[in-house]
A and B are shown apart, each in its own frame.
Chain A
Amino acid sequence: MKLKAFGLLAVVLLVGCRPEVGYQDPGSPAGQQLSGSATVFAAASLTESFQQIGKLFEDANPSAQIVFNFSSSSGLATQISEQGGADVYASADRANMDKVADRSLIDGSAQVFARNRLEIVVAPGNPKGIKTLADLANPELKVVLAAPQVPAGHYAREALDNAGVTIRPVSEAVDVKGVLGPVTLGEADAGIVYATDIKAAGSRAEGLAIPEDLNVNAEYPIALVKNGRNAQVGRAFIDLVLSEEGQQVMADHGFIPA
């Protein structure tokens, strides 16, 4: 009994002593005194571009931090719905953003900040001489696709449908970066990924363009998540992504500006 009372007292004391971290004077102009960290849940295909924007953000706001969680957009949507923990969510498709928005977990409305298209990824020098989506149907080839559950996977199947091609992949990766790995290691002959992933892979992979009429238009929406820990830093990060500076970084990584 005594112990319980002591514990209660300790809790009261601890709560009472909690420093007012991140307290902001409501009257202060925005952009000043940004502090604390915000967590950004972003599609795997945004890994390189968002890391660069995150660095720009931290350089401009030395006492603020951006923590990233890169994964498949669908997995991130489940995480946000089930356990939260995100201040910002950037998805590789509208469907997953809608899923989160339908649960009223979005503050305001989502904004499209970039677009992407698909390419066929092959080993450098294209040793198998692949040219078109139809070539991927060759049963001799080992083709990896993203799983149909994740955006890159359903986009890839959409493009294959557009081309009237049915293929049997040897593996279905859990996110788009998982398609790149086996191809760059030489274990798979080809895969379908975003153009930006091929750019990020540099000399380790080669991209083959998919004609405009067969390709898909992958739109990337971004939004502030409700009940995050640091809405102010989260909002400022979104602003930076949508700014001219942020859009330039997206373009540098091969995205098509929104």
Chain B
Amino acid sequence: MSTPTRLSATLEKVSTGAAKLAVGIAVLFFLLPLVGLLLRTPWGELGTELASPPVRSALWLSLVCSLAATAISLVFGVPLAWALARWEFPGRSLVRALTTLPMIVPPVVGGVALLLAFGRRGFAGRWLDQAFGVTLPFTTAGAILAETFVAMPFLVITVEAGLRSMNRRFEDAAATLGARPWVTFRRVTLPLIAPSLWAGAALAWARALGEFGATITFAGNLPGRTQTIPLAVYLALENRLEAAITLSVVLLAVSLTVLVLLRDRFMPNP
């Protein structure tokens, strides 16, 4: 670039100022709702609220369902990510689009679709019922299924991106040295993609923990069975605003703690 003229210097100043303003607004936009929540939190009653059986059962259910959904996402999502990144097959982009569909459709729509497929009257659900006596709607398994549906895409696309960007020379070297594919995957590929694996798992877990629409549509809302924290918050808003705020703060604290732990341990600051 040549010596800046006065005009371009002014323009630069203005654009830097505008960028700073945009950054400030963006930060405030995320900060203010948090402040609103914390200002209204009845801190004195937090302990009593946390100890109450309905809150404890919702919290426990949230943890169980979201962790189960993350585990299922890992078991099925990593192979899927591998296939999308490494296999050449017709319709691959179609499969990828299908995988990311739950990220773009509203969760309630996802819940309706799940009902129509896996519900008692759904084509797959009817078969499950007749062959195994399994019905998913209104069960904890149904809540886990709904959470997996919306959470797994986050894992798949993150892991796929990791697989695509990793340096494959190490895999080639391992193979040249006689390592079997599974050994290469476990000893070379997995450690190399570990950051994206953990990031994907964390994203999927956070998404599952906050899931509302698909869960309430497909699994319903019953304390102790399908009422996770987000559902409990929504119900509490009906008549106990303080309880809703408390539950929200608890969910916030749990997610933040786990994400910070994960970050320190597995995702070093770039």
Contact = CB atoms under 8 A, between A and B. Distances in A.
B221 A173 contact: yes
Contact of A150 (B138, B216, B220, B238): B238
A215 interface: no
B222 interface: yes
A6 B223 CA distance: 56
A97 B235 CA distance: 18
A192 to B, nearest CB: 15
A251 to B, nearest CB: 29
Given A74-B238, A182-B137, A187 B222 contact: no
B138 A78 contact: no
B119 A186 contact: yes
Nearest to A145: B222
A78 B119 contact: no
B238 A182 contact: no
B121 A187 contact: yes
A72 B235 CA distance: 10
A52 interface: no
Interface stretch (A19-27, A30-38, A164-172, A204-212): A164-172
Contacts of B68: none
Contact of B221 (A72, A172, A187): A172
B222 A172 contact: yes
Nearest to A82: B241
A184 B240 CA distance: 31
A144 interface: yes
A149 interface: yes
Nearest to B119: A187
Nearest to A151: B238
Interface string A160-195: 000000000111111000000010011110000000
B196 interface: no
A147 interface: yes
A82 B121 CA distance: 41
A74 B235 CA distance: 10
B238 A72 contact: yes
Contacts of A171: 138, 219-222, 226
Interface residues of B, number: 22
Contact of B138 (A72, A142, A174): A142
B237 interface: yes
B239 A78 contact: yes
A170 B138 contact: yes
A74 B239 contact: yes
Nearest to B17: A3
A45 B219 CA distance: 23
B115 interface: yes
B220 A149 contact: no
B221 A182 contact: no
B216 A174 contact: yes
Interface in B239-253: 239-241
B2 to A, nearest CB: 29
B221 A147 contact: yes
A166 B205 CA distance: 37
Contacts of B115: 185, 187
Given A171-B221, A182-B220, A187-B115, A75 B121 contact: no
Nearest to B223: A172
Contacts of B119: 185-187
B234 interface: yes
A78 B241 contact: yes
B246 to A, nearest CB: 15
Nearest to B116: A185
Nearest to B236: A149
Given A78-B239, A147-B235, A150-B238, A174 B221 contact: yes
B245 to A, nearest CB: 11
Interface in A112-149: 142, 144, 147, 149
B239 A149 contact: yes
B238 A78 contact: yes
B121 A186 contact: yes
A144 B238 contact: no
A174 B115 CA distance: 18
Contacts of B226: 171
Contacts of B222: 169-172
B96 interface: no
Nearest to A175: B238
Given A75-B238, A186-B120, 13 more contacts: A77-B239, A144-B220, A149-B238, A149-B240, A170-B220, A171-B226, A172-B227, A173-B220, A182-B137, A185-B115, A185-B121, A187-B115, A187-B138
Which 7 pairs between the two chains have the least Cβ-Cβ distance? A171-B220, A170-B138, A149-B238, A74-B238, A186-B121, A187-B137, A187-B119
Interface of B: 115, 119-121, 137-138, 216, 219-223, 226-227, 234-241
6 contacts: A78-B239, A149-B240, A171-B220, A171-B221, A172-B220, A182-B137
